[in-house]
Chains A and B, each alone.
Chain A
Amino acid sequence: MTIPIDYNQTLISPKNLRTAEAYWTYIATTNGESVILPDGRCDVIFRLHKNYPKKIIPVITGPSTKAYRIRQEVGDVWMGIRMRPSNGVLLWNERLEMAVDTVSRGKDALRLLPQLANIDPEQITKKNLGNLLSDLFDCSTINESVDTQNKTIDLIHTSGGRLTVKSLSSLVGFSARHLNRLFIRSVGISIKKYSRLVQFHRSLRLIQEEGLQIAEAAFESGYSDQAHMTRTFQHIGGFSPSKIPLGLTIPELFN
């Protein structure tokens, strides 16, 4: 098994054909804690401890809306796939809404997705990780409402999370209430919550990668003022815009 050091991800394209959005690997290069940013999506993860390479712990996350920290030692490995937001329901079924910000490990994860037990850790490479894991899902349960959700999600991403539920619903052609209900059923969280995450990620990117000042980023990403952006950063990321943790990995969330 050869995996590139640090965080690495591959987006799956074309997007219409995929159940998962990306597959990724992470090898810890420092001891201590890592911050995992929430992205409203579910992940299926294999965790390998450096000291017990034969023992693989399967992990399934619910849709995440808050940052959390993981403990790591140099050489620990995580490999996973990030589901498309609208496919969270494939993992959790009717329990999706209750799974928000929760994590199932080991036996609990196997109970959710028993097929995980069939994967031989020795066979995992970065190349076949995507296939191995996306073969696990029964895609026949994907219905036409997922198309609507994907359209809604595209619009949220294109507008940087700044469109209201009302505007989105008129663009997609449903009532706001109905659209939101469908959205929650397949993504697990409300349109508003998902939009806030997209807006957060964009503003973070504007500061980290596009070199904008905090006030400039707040304005460009549509926060009413800098205080509003600071509150959102605290709430979602657990840090303020002026104290972004070093070495933070910002996942590419192009839907």
Chain B
Amino acid sequence: MKFGYTIIYVSNVLDTVTFYESAFGLKRKFIHESNLYAEMETGETVLAFASNESAEMNGVAILPNHSSSLPAGWEVCFVTQEVEKAYNRAMEKGCIPVSKPLQKPWGQIVSYVRDLNGCLIEIASPVS
């Protein structure tokens, strides 16, 4: 078994794809014609978005993500050499600030934002 996908349930798949393109510089891989599912170009492990209503069709029940709620207890982390630049771009494009880039004692630069759906996103430098 291998780790294939991280799938985030969102209220609007198209808006989320567009947001991730502009705020985090990702590219879309494909959007299903129903607009209920989309995948981003993230290499071997796919970051995908599915609409909240498809949760019900899959027989699962979830706590919907929302910017006004406490974020769910997990995060997606994007790694870049230019954390400050990536963080500023995310802020400009509408992310919710959580913590600004800070250098950790082990040398890594780490920042946190929340995306349009309120999901927790870490933007950090590689661990040296």
Contacts and interface: CB of A to CB of B under 8 A. Distances in A.
A159 B64 contact: yes
B1 interface: no
B55 to A, nearest CB: 5
Interface of A: 154-155, 157-163, 167, 170-171, 173, 202, 205-206, 209-210, 220-222, 254-255
Nearest to B52: A158
A159 B61 contact: yes
A163 B61 CA distance: 10
16 contacts: A157-B53, A158-B9, A158-B55, A158-B61, A159-B62, A159-B63, A163-B63, A170-B68, A170-B69, A173-B68, A202-B59, A209-B59, A210-B59, A220-B61, A254-B53, A254-B57
Interface of B is mostly: loop
Contact of B64 (A155, A202, A254): A155
B44 interface: no
A171 B62 contact: no
A255 B53 contact: yes
B59 A221 contact: no
A171 B61 contact: no
A158 B56 contact: yes
B117 to A, nearest CB: 12
B53 A154 contact: yes
A254 B61 CA distance: 12
